[in-house]
Each structure stands twice: as structure tokens, then as C-alpha cells.
Amino acid sequence: NRVEFESKVEMFFMSNKHPSGIFVMLDIDNFKQVNDTFGHVAGDKILCNVADILRSIFTETELISRIGGDEYALFIPFELEESYLNSKLKKLHEVLNMDIDHIKISCSTGIAFCPINGSDFEALYNCADIALLTSKRNGKNQYRFYESDMELPIIAHIEEKVVSLLDSTSDAMFVSDAYTSEIIYINETACNILGKTKKECLGSRCYQIFWSRCRNCDRCFNIGQCVNEFYEEDTMLLDE
């Protein structure tokens, strides 16, 4: 996990006076579409396949970790010849390039170097993340080396990361239109409770899918009456 990965990378820096290395971050392109269309079981299979691919290509290191959602990171604790590193990155993008029922799965990658871009976990992580986001912005399915003139992430990608965090929480969450009661967002936890995919839930009326009612309940009305305060209610799914 990320905590253990970060700890091992920091330990490397603490034990080396003049460290050098390569920090790589990878994000699976269009992974959310797979989860929304086929459910989390199919998504989990892709995550496992990506981990296996990374281990098979980057045999120089055991410092490989999923750090959240559909993102992975790896750290090579020494320098590699540029041509050799490029050959590995090209192979990664060739192997991780597939179609799943018309959904294109590929990866975007960002790379930072120690000591040029930093000599601690946080600095390298930030630089590699910016390089990764640059890859996403420029069409996905590519890798970029960090450059000092690269811009910070755009708002759209920040929102994408927020959605990923909400999907990984243990609390069920959904957002519905106050007027139509149609579900416009629902996280993975709520879908799992209902036994449905996001595609099945989005657009459905919340009172039908959560409480098996044929008409709107009073919850949205009560929430709408709140001004500068919170509305709180204990409820159960499929309640009467």
C-alpha cells in the first residue's frame, strides 16, 4: 500500500548520502468506464493485471505499489540508461493497450528523477504526478518526463481524483437532482449495497432504487427547506 511504499522510499533516501533514482507514476486510462459499465469485479481484474505487468517489465525493483484508485507508483533506486528506460516505458504502453467491449484501456505515465527533481518522496511524487497529468491532458496513452515549466493539474483532473476518493470510501454516497430525483452521482460502495453497476443506477430515481417507492419521499423537500443548517435523518434502505 501507499504508506508502506512511501516508508521504503524515504528509508532509501535516509540511508544514502548521494541518492539517485527514478520515480514513475501510472494512471489507467478510462478505468472508470470499466467500473461503471461492468462493475468492480472486472475493475479489480484489470488492477491485478496492471500490477503483474509492472512487475514483469520493471524487474530492477520491488518498490511497486498501488497508491490509490487506478494509480500505481514505482521507484527504481538507481539510474538507468535513457535508451534502456525509454525501451521499458514503450513496452509498458504497448502491453497495457487493449479494448474491453469497445472501451479502450491504456495508461498515462509521469516520470521524475532523483536528484534532479528532488531527493525525497514528496518532491518526486509531486513532479511525477504533474508529468502524469500532462500525459493525460495531451491525449493519454503516453509518458512524459517532468519538466520545470509543466503546469499544475487542471480542475477537471482534480475533480476526477475526488470522484476516485469517493469511490474508495466505505460510506455509501449518492447525489440526486432535487427536482427530478434522478441520480446524477453514486459511489462504488452504494452500488455494491444495491448489487448494481453505476450504469444501472445513474438516471434512476432515488426513491425507486433505494426505497422501492413509486413516488417521491419527503427527504429532498426537507433538505430543501434547510438554510444555513444540516438535515440529518436515520434511515434504512427499502424502508416502509
* pLDDT tens-digit readout, 19-59: 999 999 999 998 888 888 888 888 889 999 999 999 999 99
**In 82-173, beta strands by DSSP E:** 98-100, 103-114, 143-145
Name the grid cell of 126.
Answer: 509531486
Task: Determine the Cα–Cα distance for residues 228 and 25; give it in Å rounded to an integer.
Answer: 42
Q: What is the pLDDT of residue 128?
A: 96
Backbone angles phi, psi at 217, to 5 degrees: -95, -175
Other beta carbons within 10 angstroms of residue 129's beta carbon come to 23
Percent of the chain with pLDDT over 90: 44
**Residue 197 in 3-state DSSP?**
coil
Q: How do strand 143-145 and strand 174-176 relate by DSSP bridges?
A: unpaired
Cell match 518532491: residue? 123
Q: What is the pLDDT of residue 240?
A: 45
* pTM, full prediction: 0.65
Output 161 or 61, whichever has higher pLDDT.
61
Task: Determine the Cα–Cα distance for residues 148 and 138; give it in Å rounded to an integer.
Answer: 17
Task: Determine the Cα–Cα distance for residues 205 and 207; give it in Å rounded to an integer.
Answer: 6
From residue 167, alpha-carbon distances to 42, 145, 160, 200, 205 in Å are 15, 29, 11, 16, 20
